[in-house]
């Protein structure tokens, strides 16, 4: 067998060529990774662009329905008590209903009535419970921590459950003009 002799010059050339090939492969892989990242970024931007265009269409639809939405918002604001005093009153009455173990059927505020220096908040309460507890509830309304006046009171028997009665109360809670 014949031994191949490599000259030092050929060895240097071979090392330079191998090093160049390694650098070329490294640069090619690096470029490929940057290219795939750019493609992913492009897809992400296209998705964001699509979402933005959908949002823009939705906003345009909302702007076209602005009058209807404003009417709906005004209706909902009218349905919900917007003042802190009324909310405190409803919370207080709800707490009394829970303490009395009543089944609340209705608890609604009606239109505020302005009087001299204060506001009356009419509240309609319909609930079911035991007669003795209803009497305690009415006593709490009269002598409790909030000023409440019972304007109307209807008590009816529950034929399905004789131990329970249905009570319908129209009461006025009071608050000064500051709380409104």
Q: Are residues 162 and 105 in the same domain?
A: yes
Domain that holds residue 109: 81-176
The predicted pLDDT at position 91 comes to 86
Q: Which range, of 14-18, 113-117, 138-142, averages the lowest pLDDT? A: 113-117
pTM above 0.75, yes or no: no
Residue 76 domain-assigned (yes or no): yes
The predicted pLDDT at position 101 comes to 87
Residue 139 domain-assigned (yes or no): yes
Report the number of distinct structural domains present in the chain: 2
Tell me the three-class secondary structure of 119-136, residue by residue.
EEEEEEEEEEEEHHHHHH
Q: Which residue from 63, 177, 41 is spatially nearest to 114, judged by alpha carbons? A: 177
Helix (H, G, I), strand (E, B) or coil at 102: coil
Residue 2 domain-assigned (yes or no): no
Q: Are residues 72 and 118 in the same domain?
A: no
pLDDT digits (tens, 9 = 90+) for 64-107: 888 887 887 776 655 444 456 677 888 888 888 888 888 888 88
Q: Which of 80, 107, 138 is the last residue before a domain boundary?
A: 80
pLDDT digits (tens, 9 = 90+) for 15-32: 999 999 999 999 999 999
The predicted pLDDT at position 180 comes to 43
Mean pLDDT score across all residues of the chain: 84
Name the percent of the chain lying above pLDDT 90.
33
Q: Which of 37, 56, 80 is the last residue before a domain boundary?
A: 80
CATH number for the domain spanning 123: value is 3.30.70.60
The answer for residues whose C-beta is within 8 angstroms of residue 114's C-beta and 6 or more apart is 120
Task: Please give the biggest Cα pair distance in the chain.
Answer: 124
Residue 169 domain-assigned (yes or no): yes
Residue 1 domain-assigned (yes or no): no
Q: Are residues 121 and 134 in the same domain?
A: yes
Q: Which of 49, 80, 111 is the last residue before a domain boundary?
A: 80
- Report whether pLDDT(178) > 80: no
């Amino acid at each position: 067998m014949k031994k191949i002799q490599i000259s030092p010059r050929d060895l240097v050339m071979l090392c330079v060529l191998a090093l160049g090939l390694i650098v070329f492969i490294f640069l090619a892989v690096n470029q490929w990774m940057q290219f795939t990242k750019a493609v992913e970024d492009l897809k992400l931007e296209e998705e964001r662009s699509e979402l933005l265009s959908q949002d823009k269409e939705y906003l345009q639809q909302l702007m076209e329905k602005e009058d209807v939405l404003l009417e709906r918002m005004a209706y909902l604001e009218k349905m919900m008590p917007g003042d802190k005093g009324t909310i405190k009153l409803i919370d207080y009455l709800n707490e009394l209903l829970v303490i009395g173990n009543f089944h609340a059927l209705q608890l609604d505020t009606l239109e505020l009535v302005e009087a001299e220096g204060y506001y009356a908040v009419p509240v309609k309460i319909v609930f079911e419970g035991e007669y003795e507890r209803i009497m305690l509830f009415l006593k709490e309304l009269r002598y409790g921590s909030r000023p409440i006046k019972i304007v109307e009171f209807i008590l009816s028997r529950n034929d399905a459950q004789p131990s329970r009665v249905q009570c319908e109360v129209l009461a006025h809670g009071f608050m000064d003009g500051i709380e409104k």
